[in-house]
Amino acid sequence: MTNANGRTALVTGASRGIGRAVAVELAKQGWRVVCVARSQKALEQLDDRIRSEGGEATLVPMDLKDFVGIDQLGAALFERFGKLDALAACAGSLGSVTPAHQVTPAVMDEAMAVNFTANYRLIRSMHPLLRASDAGRAVFVTSGIATNPLAYFGPYAASKAALDALVKTWAAEINITPIRANLFSPGPVRTAMRAKAFPGEDPNTLPTPEEVAPQIVAMLAADYAANGEIVRFKR
C-alpha cells in the first residue's frame, strides 16, 4: 500500500520495540512515516521493512536529547510537508532500577530528558504542524508505573508522571482545535526495556509490540475523537 491516505506521521523510538512496530503498522495502512531513532543501521533495516510493505519512510537518525535538533526537525518537516497529521512518541529510557536515594544525577537527567523533556520539545516543535492538519493526532507512550509507582523505579516513574501531566495539560488547551492528544499505556510488552526491568520474567507470556501497535495507530486516525485520556492496551 503506498501512501493511500496522503497522511504523514512522525514516530520516535522507531528503531525497535513498540516504536518500530507502530512505524511498520502505519506503513501497512498507507501512511508516510518519518522515523526517528539513534541508530542509523536500525533505521535502514526498518526502511527495508517499510518498503517491503509498499510504504514510504523518511529516516531521521537523531538522539532525542538533541533538543535543538527537535526544533530543526519541526522546521524541516514544515518545509517538506507543510503539516504533520500524527505524532507517535514511543521513545523511552528506563533509567536504572535502584533505590531513589542511590540514583545518580546522570541517570535521573537521562530519564527526564528522554521521557519528559524531549516530549515537551516535540509538543513545542510539532504543535504548529499538527495544527496545520485537518485532524492532527498525538499519542505518547506512558506506563502504569506513573500512577502506581514501584520500588526502585524512581527515575522512570517520575518522568512518566511528568509526561502524563504535561500531555493532559496540552490536551485541555487544544480541546477547541482539531488536534487531539492522548496517552497510551501498553502494560507489560515483550521488549528489550521490559527484559532489562524484569529479567526473570518469561517474555513468551507477554504480548508482542506487533500486537500492541494497531491500537496506537487507531488512536492516530482522523476520526479518533478522544482527548486527554490514558488508554490502556486491551489484548
Catalytic residue among 120, 152, 156, 224: 156
Task: Count Cα neighbours of 15 within 13 Å in the Cβ-side half-sphere.
Answer: 17
Which neighbouring-strand residues pair with 56? 32
How crowded is residue 161: how many other Cβ atoms within 10 Å of its Cβ?
18
Residues 193, 186 contacting (CB under 8 angstroms): no
Alpha helices by DSSP H, the chain: 17-28, 40-52, 67-81, 105-112, 118-132, 154-173, 192-197, 209-219
DSSP 233: P
Distance, in Å, from the CA atom of 150 to the CA atom of 160, rounded to the nearest integer, reads: 13
For the chain, the farthest-separated pair of C-alpha atoms sits apart, in whole angstroms, at: 52
Is 120 part of the annotated catalytic residue set? no
Residues 62, 73 contacting (CB under 8 angstroms): yes
Cα dist. 196→91, 94, 114, 203 in Å? Answer: 16, 8, 17, 11
Give the list of residues 6+ apart from residue 169 with CB closer than 8 angstroms, or none: none
Q: Which of 63, 186, 177 is nearest to 128 (CA)?
A: 177
Residues annotated as catalytic (active site), given as ranges: 156
